[in-house]
Every structure is written in C-alpha cells, then in structure tokens.
Structure 1
Amino acid sequence: MKNKQMQMIVLVCIGLLLFLVSGLDFSSIVLLNVEPWWMYFVILGIIISAYYFIKHSLEDKKVDDEFIEKEGQVFMERIQEDREKRKRYSEEP
C-alpha cells in the first residue's frame, strides 16, 4: 500500500510541476520574481490541498474496501448456510 501511495504522490507532484511550468517561460527566474508575494502562499496552498486530498481519498478507499470485504464475508456466510440447509434437506428421507 505504501508503494502505491508513494507512486500517487510522485505522479501528482510531477503533474503539478508540469502544470506550473507549462504556464511559465521555462525559466526558474520567473518563479523567483513573482510580483505579488502572496502568490507563494497560493501555490503552497494548492500543493498542500493536493496532498491532503490524496491522503484522505486513499484513507476513504481503504475504509470502503474494508467495509466491502466485511459485507462480502457476511454474504458468503449466508450462501454457505443456504448450501448446508439444502444439503441437509436433500439428505433427509
């Protein structure tokens, strides 16, 4: 699971980097010469929001998978009980 999380984080970071670079002149000086200083906070906020979005979506997926597994187990137990009942009824004279 950790490997998938790391891959997702790396892919998102690369995507964000490409998104930022695509709108710029491909020069690192442009990032350092952002006129309104508060834009650094906006960029930082976007990155932090993306991180927390990925983090919480992975946690939600894990909870959903556990719930689905639990419900699937209950369903399989019911099927097994039905099979046993049918087997008992078919064996009765």
Structure 2
Amino acid sequence: MNKSELIDAIAAKADISKAAAGKALDGMVDAVTDALKAGDTVTVVGFGTFYVGERAERSGRNPKTGETITIAAAKSPKFRAGKALKDAL
C-alpha cells in the first residue's frame, strides 16, 4: 500500500474527503516527526510505539580497500508494534 492508497482507505473508513484525509495523514506524519526530533516517543494504544533508537560508534571495514574505518554513532526512527496490531496479524 502506498501513500495515495492509504489516503483512499482513510477517506473511505472515516467518511471524509480525500483532501481532508491527505491533510490528516500529513499532519500525523509531521507530528510524529516533530516528536521524534524532540526526543519523545509517540504511543498509539493498540497500534504501536514510535521511538528513536541509538547506535553506538563502531569500527567497520572499507570493502574496496580493506582499510579499517570508524562508523559514527547514529540515531534512527524505530517502531514497536502494539498487542492489538500483533493479534490482528
């Protein structure tokens, strides 16, 4: 399912226009993004939790030269599915 198909499904289930469903989806994505940037977690009960995962600095190897390099620490968005979502699958 891509974004336009998701907007169509939201519009049908909520009985609203596609334009309103698109704005609602964009607003939700922006709100989750802003919360994660601020270091917060976003929990939607029954659906799941969005949070920021952190990876420590580590050493790696350049596959072309074989040289050892240092890979910087990084933050990445993660999602943990809730019980209701797991049970639905």
The normalised TM-score by structure 1 is 0.29
- Highest Rg: 1 or 2? 1
TM-score scaled by length of structure 2: 0.31
- Higher fraction of helix: 1
The structure, 1 or 2, with the larger RCO (C-alpha pairs under 8 Å, 6+ apart) is 1
Structure ranking higher in strand proportion: 2
